[in-house]
Chain A
Amino acid sequence: MITDFYELDPYELNSADKEEMLRKELIELTSLHKDKCKEYSNFLEAVGYDAGKINNVADIPFFPVRMFKEYDLKSIRDDEIFKTMTSSGTTGQKVSKIFLDKETAMIQQKVMVKILSSYWGKKRLPMLVIDTPEVVRNREMFTARGAAIIGLQVVSRDTVYVLNDDMTLNYDVLDDFMNKYGNQRFIIFGFTFLVWEHFYKELLKADKKYDMSEAFLMTGGGWKKLESEAVSREMFKSKLREVCNIGHFLDHYGMVEQTGCIYAECECGNLHASIYSDVITRRYEDFSPCDIGEKGIIQVVSALPHSYPGHSLLTEDEGIILGEDDCPCGRKGKYIQILGRLKSAELRGCSDTYADKYGQN
C-alpha cells in the first residue's frame, strides 16, 4: 500500500529494501490497471505478462510515454475524473491526457511535499516564479512549464509571477516580493533558459543588487538550450551567485505523466530517485537494463499512478545512473544524470511527410 511508504523518509531505503517494497507495489498497480483499463490489459496480453515471473522492478512491462497522446488511458470511471492534466510534450501537436481521481491527485501532492521537504524543510514557502502568469492562465499554451508551476503550488504559498506577458522583468513585483520575503527561506522557480534569459541577464544590466542567499532556485526543462549557447551548469550557478547571491540550487527532472515523483538535485549536484519511484536505463538494441555509468534510454516507474496506467513508462530521454545508495549527500537510492531527448531519426522512403500515426507526432 502506498500508505506504507508514507511512514518512511523518502530517501531512507537502501537498494534491496526499496526494490522489495517497490516491486510489490508495482505488481499490485499492474494488476489494478489490468482490471480497470482495457487498453492496458490488451497491452499486457501482447507482451505476455505473467505476474509470477516478475522477479524485480525491471521486469514490470513498460510502454512509451507517447501512448498517452494516442489513447485516453484511464483506470477510473468518467464520473470519477477529478482533474485532467494535459501536456503538449515536445513531439508535435497531440497532447498527453492524464486522468486523475481525487485519490491519485492527493497522493501526488503528498509525495511532492515529502520529497521537497527533504530539501527545504516542512514549511510551505513563498514562491517567485520566473515566468508570466499567462503560462498557467492560458490553456492554449498550457505546457510542461505550466504543469510544473501548478504542481509546485501545493508545496508553496503566495505564488508571484515576476515576468510580464512580454517576458520582461517586472521590477515592482520583484521588489515587493523581496521586501516581504527576502529575509526568509523562499523558492524561485523557472525553466533554465527563462531564468538565464529573462532573470539573470536582466539583473546583470540593472544597477540594483539583490541578496537571495535564502532562496532555493528550483529549475526544470533541461540544459540543452543553454549548453548550445555554451552556458554550462557550473557557469549558470556561478553567474547567478555573482549577480544575486542565490543560496541553493535545486534542478529537477520530472514529467506530467508521473507528477509528484520528481528527481531533485541534492547538495552534490545529483538528481535523486525517492522511494516512490525509480529509474532504469535501457539499451536501445534490446531494451535490456544498462549498468551503472552506461548511457541508456530512461524508463521511469512510480508507485503513485492509481487512476491511470502510468506506473511504468519508457521516456524518450537519455540518461546515466551515476550510482546507488552512495551519494555523499547521504540520500539512499539511485542518483542520475539526464542527457536530454533522444535525437529524432529521419528515415528514408518514398513519403517525405512521414509523420505516421505513431512516429514523429
Chain B
Amino acid sequence: MQNLGGAVIPMQINTDKINFLVGDEAILCSIQYNPALPMFSDKMLGFLEDLSRKLMDDKRSRSYQDVMSYAYWIRKSSLERIKKSYNTKLARIGRGVSFHIAPSNVPINFAVSMTSALLAGNSIVIRVSDKDYEQVSIVCDAMNELLSGKHASVRDYFCIVRYPHDDEITSQISAMCDIRIIWGGDETIRRIRSAAIPPRAIEMTFADRHSIALIDSDYYMSADKKEVAKGFFTDTYYTDQNACSSPRLVVWFGDRIEEAKESFWKELLLLVKEKYRMEPVVAVDKYAAFCGLAMSAGQARLQSDENYIMRVRIDELTDNVLDYKHGGGYFYEYNAKDIEDILPVLNKRCQTISVLGIDKDNVRDFVIKNGVQGVDRVVDLGQTMALEFVWDGYNMIENMTRIVHA
C-alpha cells in the first residue's frame, strides 16, 4: 500500500459476503490509495503479455474459443500495435479505481473490460456473475499465479469478486470508485444506478442493443458461400444470436436477392443443424415473437417452414420492428431498393451494422450524414464478435484515463 502523505484510512467494506477470486479484503479496503499508472504502462503491458502466454499454455483453454481469442487479443504484438495507434502527444494517466459489473451470460467479458482499464492505468474491482464458468476460473488462476510471482508488484491493483445481489456492497464499492462500468443490460443498469458514485467519478453503461446485417446479393452469389455461412454462424448462433452485436435483421440489396436468399439460408441451415442445439421452448418463443409483430402490424410474413432458422419477411422497416426480437435463430428480412430504406431501424438501440459486399466507409458516412442516433460500429459480416477497444461508441482505454495538460 502506498502512502500519499497523510494517514491512510482503509475503507470500511462489509466483506462477509464477498468471495475473492483474485485479491483479498486488505487490497479491496485500500485499493483507492494505489497510485494511478500512465496509459500503456510497461507494468501492465508486461502483465497482460504474460497473462496471454499463461492462458495459451493452459490446456483447459483449448476447449474455450473465447479464452483463446482473448489470449490472442492481449498478446504482445497485438498490444504493441494498439499502443502505436494512440496519440501519445497528450499525457494520459489512469483515473484511479475502476469498478466493473460484468454480465452473467458472457463469461470472458470481465477480462475484456479489465484489459481496457489496466491499459488506461487503473486499479480494478470486478464483480463477476455467480455462475461458475470455467473460463472465469482459467483466467483468475493464471492471474493469481502471476500476481504471487513475477508480477507481485502490481498485486494491489486487482480484486475480482463474487457476491450475491447485495445493494450494500455495491454501494460501498461504488462510493470509492472513479469509474463505474456496468455491463448486463437495461435492468442491471437501472438497479446499479441507485447506488451513487462520487461527484468526480464517471460511468460507462452498456445497455441492451441489437444489430443488423446488410448483404449485396450480387456480391454474395460470387462469394465463397460456405465461408459466409461460417462467419454468419459465428455472428449469431455462436452466442444464441443474443449478443448485442448479433444481427436480428438481414437487409438485402442488388439484383439477385431471391437466389441469394435461398442459398444463404440453405448453407446456414446445414451448419445450424450440425452445430446448434435448440431447446424446444425456443421454437415457441421465436414463434411468439413473430406472432407479436404479426398481430400488431400485419405486415410480417413467415418465410421458413422449419424452426431452427425462423425467418420473417418485412415489407416496410419501421422503428419498432426490432422490439419483437428473439434469440436462438430468429431473423427479419427486408429487400431494400435503396439504403435510405434502413433509416427507421437505425435508432438508439442499433449497435453494429455488419456488411457483405458493401463498403464500410460508405455506410459510416451514411450514418453520419443522416445524423441517426444509433450505429456505433460497421464491420465485415463474420466479425461482429471480434474483440475491440472501441465499443458502443466509447474509446474504452482513453475514456478511462484523464489528460494531464501542460
Contacts and interface: CB of A to CB of B under 8 A. Distances in A.
A204 interface: no
A327 B401 CA distance: 75
Contacts of A349: 105-106, 239-240, 242-244, 246, 327
Interface stretch (B15-23, B167-175, B185-193): B185-193
A227 B302 CA distance: 39
B182 to A, nearest CB: 11
Contacts of B284: 64, 284, 297, 314, 316, 342
Contacts of B295: 39-40, 42-43, 63, 67, 70-71, 73
Interface string B265-290: 00000000000001111111101111
A19 interface: no
A45 B302 CA distance: 10
A45 B295 CA distance: 9
B306 A352 contact: no
A42 B298 contact: yes
Given A46-B294, A297-B283, A351 B105 contact: yes
A63 B239 CA distance: 27
A43 B297 CA distance: 9
B377 interface: no
B106 A350 contact: yes
B183 interface: yes
Contact of B283 (A39, A287, A343): A287
A350 to B, nearest CB: 5
B63 to A, nearest CB: 16
Contact of A358 (B109, B278, B292): B292
B184 A352 contact: yes
A357 interface: yes
Nearest to A71: B295
A40 B295 CA distance: 6
Nearest to B305: A286
Nearest to B208: A351
Contacts of B244: 349-351
B291 A64 contact: yes
Contacts of B298: 41-42, 45-46
B324 A350 contact: no
A354 B105 contact: yes
Contacts of B209: 350
A41 B298 CA distance: 8
A324 interface: no
A205 to B, nearest CB: 38
Given A64-B284, A354-B105, A355-B187, A348 B239 contact: yes
A353 B182 CA distance: 13
A354 B287 contact: no
A351 B185 contact: yes
B308 to A, nearest CB: 7
Given A345-B328, A354-B242, A42 B294 contact: yes
Interface in A84-110: none
Most chain A CB atoms below 10 A, which of B183, B246, B289, B292: B292
A47 B290 CA distance: 10
A352 B240 CA distance: 13
A285 B103 CA distance: 30
A39 B188 CA distance: 33
B104 A66 contact: no
Contacts of B299: 46
Contacts of A64: 284, 287-288, 291
Given A39-B296, A46-B300, A358-B324, A347 B291 contact: no
B180 interface: no
A315 to B, nearest CB: 9
A228 to B, nearest CB: 19
Nearest to B327: A347
Interface in A241-293: 284-287
Contacts of A42: 294-298
Given A287-B307, A349-B105, A349-B106, A359 B285 contact: yes
B186 A353 contact: yes
Nearest to A316: B284
Interface in A54-85: 63-64, 66-67, 70-71, 73
Given A46-B300, A286-B305, A345 B206 contact: no
B129 interface: yes
A7 interface: no
B183 A46 contact: no
Contact of A345 (B103, B285, B292, B325): B285
A131 to B, nearest CB: 29
Contacts of A234: none
Contacts of A356: 325-326
A45 B297 CA distance: 10
A202 to B, nearest CB: 36
A318 interface: yes
A127 B186 CA distance: 49
A304 B30 CA distance: 70
Nearest to B239: A348
A15 B275 CA distance: 40
B281 A63 contact: no
A48 interface: yes
Contacts of A67: 288, 291-292, 295
B242 A47 contact: no
B279 A345 contact: yes
Interface string B235-260: 00001101110100000000000000
A45 B294 CA distance: 8
Contact of A46 (B185, B208, B301, B323): B301
A314 B295 CA distance: 16
A352 B129 contact: yes
Contact of A297 (B280, B292, B294, B325): B280
B292 A353 contact: no
Contacts of B305: 286
Nearest to B244: A350
A318 B283 CA distance: 13
B279 to A, nearest CB: 4
Given A284-B283, A351-B185, 16 more contacts: A39-B296, A43-B294, A63-B291, A67-B288, A284-B278, A284-B281, A318-B280, A343-B281, A345-B328, A347-B240, A350-B183, A350-B185, A352-B129, A352-B185, A352-B188, A358-B292
19 contacts: A45-B294, A48-B301, A64-B288, A71-B295, A345-B281, A348-B242, A348-B243, A350-B109, A350-B183, A350-B208, A351-B105, A351-B184, A351-B208, A352-B103, A353-B184, A354-B242, A354-B327, A357-B324, A359-B326
Interface of B: 103-106, 109, 129, 183-188, 206, 208-209, 239-240, 242-244, 246, 278-285, 287-302, 305-308, 323-328
Interface of A: 39-43, 45-48, 63-64, 66-67, 70-71, 73, 284-287, 297, 314, 316, 318, 342-359
